[in-house]
Amino acid sequence: MTTEPTSTPAAAPRNDLRFIVIGAGMSGILSAIKLKQAGFDDFAVYEKADRLGGTWRENTYPGIACDVPSHFYSYSFAPNPDWSHRFSPGAEIHAYFEAVAHRYGVHERIQFGKEVTRCAFEDGRWRIETSDGATDVADFVIAATGVLHHPAIPDIEGLDDFEGALFHSARWDHDVPVAGKRVGVVGTGSSAIQIVSALVDRVEELTLFQRTAQWITPIENPAYSDTEKAEFQEHPEAMQTIRDAVARAFTDGFANVLVDADSPMLQVIHDSCLANLENNVKDPELREKLRPDYRATCKRLIMSEDFYDAIQRPNAKLVTEGIERLEKSGVRTRDGRLHELDVLVLATGFRVEDFVRPMRVIGRSGASMDEVWKDGPFAHLAISVPDFPNFFMLNGPNGPVGNFSLIEVAELQFGYILQLVEQVRSGACDEICASQEAMQRFDAERREAAKKTIWASGCKSWYLDADGLPTAWPFTFDRFREEMSKPQLGDFERR
């Protein structure tokens, strides 16, 4: 049942609302800043680690960078004239979040080393438990817990038998020397491609274990000169111009076209990836091994200016034979060959379906998020789940993910969430969450649209759910912006 919007406040305005933000990554820091700016000063940010930064804290592998241009992958309210490159490295991005958190006075509001283990909606408020046994109570929970968060460890036989160093790309062990070593990398996603390019000239031998070939689009990554940085400092509007241009180009040339597998623009992207492969990989045998058998952008497009060079170095080896098992000295492939290694990196991606879990979240009816999501995670417009009032997610299920700025996504979502919060603050209601009816309507439409996207055109990727249906936002990014501009209050149940 849809609850009709009412303009008559049920009670007096409330200025005593307390918020808990879970996670101090990009979207948690954003939430804290935006709450302060909106005049909500009673909030805490709980962070399980001992530093902020989320994905940029956890991923420190060699070569890490963001493939969204830095002047777009920045908060809209905190442009950074000092970005070193068009696509700046991960450590710089991490330092940016640290600096912004300090500058906006939210760093001191983060409680580090506190993992939220349980949130339960009891007597109209959220009761929070943390790993150290402490409890807290709040009116709202903002789950800023990230998407690419829980490393996926592949089910390869003999993982424990390997006597060399073994770690996931998101758990890079910097104590393990790689210079002059025989290093193997499993996987060909964005992480693996960056690792291979960064390591090949430092190691004795680099072996890339490829299960699926990837389309690669070449990008240039020029450094910003001191003159350009001084110009950005003096004329911040120059950064805004870049930002606007990139945002428009990513929206029109990318995000909006991925959702229509028949879009002619997708053929343009495909042809450019094909030309990259044909023109830049010389050995015909290697070229065939690197040739994907699906359409470009079906998987998340890899952007790299140097991967094809790297994989053609004399000390690089591409192995396409499947992995049979790990043995004490290396990887045994199905053809019986043993690839001897000192270090093996699992660049095997993330368990994306977890979202807020393993935290236990109990809604108004007593049902847990695990139960509600037993067939897969969902949320109305990626933000709100029926019967979990005053609990909102940033970058939650079925939201936009892809080759564009998740910062912009989170900013738009937070603007929307604040409008829902306003319903409670103004006294119009005490509890607000998506109605079942709106959720089901959205999910049915989302599922239909998902079938028409490029992600459903015949490849395997982390965008797909257990049934092979893409889980990402399947509409245009323009529609996302439009939806986020103003909640349809009729889609929300308010008590």
Cα separation, 345 vs 302, in Å, equals 19
If one asks whether residue 62 binds ligand N01 (CB under 6 A), the answer comes out as no
Site pattern 280..319 for ligand N01 (x: CB under 6 A): --------------------x-------------------
| 462 makes contact with ligand N01 (CB under 6 A) | yes
Q: What is the DSSP letter of 132?
A: T
Binder among 45, 345, 347, 361 for ligand N01 (CB under 6 A): 347
| Minimum distance from residue 328 beta carbon to ligand N01 (Å) | 19
> Token pair 């007593």 is at which residue?
366
- Coil, strand or helix: which one is 436? helix
Between 388 and 463, name the residue whose CB sits nearer to ligand N01. 463
Tokens of 482: 């439009």
Q: Total binding residues for ligand N01 by CB under 6 A?
A: 24
Nearer to ligand N01, 101 or 192 (CB): 192
Helix boundaries (H) for 203-315: 226-234, 237-250, 256-258, 264-280, 284-289, 307-311
Which tokens belong to 10?
A: 């049920």
Asked whether position 458 contacts ligand N01 by CB under 6 A, the answer is no
| Distance (Å, whole) CA 455 – CA 471 | 9
Q: Closer to ligand N01 at the Cβ: 143 or 302? A: 302
Q: Which residue is nearest to ligand N01 (CB)?
A: 189
The dihedral sign for the CA sequence 400, 406, 409, 410? positive
The correct pick among 93, 148, 343, 361 for binding ligand N01 (CB under 6 A) is: 148
As a whole number of angstroms, the distance between CA 169 and CA 62 comes to: 9
Q: Which is nearer to ligand N01, 69 or 164 (CB)?
A: 69
**323 near ligand N01, judged by CB under 6 A:** yes
Among 66, 93, 142, 310, binds ligand N01 (CB under 6 A): 66
Per-state percent for the chain, helix, strand, coil, to nearest 5: 35, 20, 50
Nearest 5 degrees, angle CA 417-CA 51-CA 174?
130
Q: By CB under 6 A, which span of 75-83, 148-156, 438-446, 483-491 interacts with ligand N01? A: 148-156
Q: How many C-beta atoms surround the C-beta of residue 285 within 10 A? A: 9
Number of neighbours of residue 408 by Cβ within 10 angstroms: 23
- Work out the widest C-alpha separation in the chain, in whole angstroms: 74
- Binding status of residue 190 toward ligand N01 by CB under 6 A: yes
Nearer to ligand N01, 349 or 397 (CB): 349
Helix or strand (DSSP H, E) at 482: helix 477-485
Query: Which of 27, 80, 191, 395 touches ligand N01 by CB under 6 A?
Result: 191
- With residue 37 as reference, give the H or E element that holds it: helix 26-37
**Residue number, 41 or 157, with CB nearest to ligand N01:** 157
The site map against ligand N01 for 22-61 (x = CB under 6 A) is ----------------------------------------
Residue 187 sits in the site that holds ligand N01 (CB under 6 A)? yes
First to last CA, the chain: 13
- The binder of ligand N01 chosen from 189, 377, 386, 487 (CB under 6 A): 189
Of 127, 211, 441, 481, which one interacts with ligand N01 (CB under 6 A)?
A: 211
* Interface with ligand N01 (CB under 6 A): 65-67, 148, 154, 156, 169, 186-192, 194, 211-212, 300, 323, 347-349, 460, 462
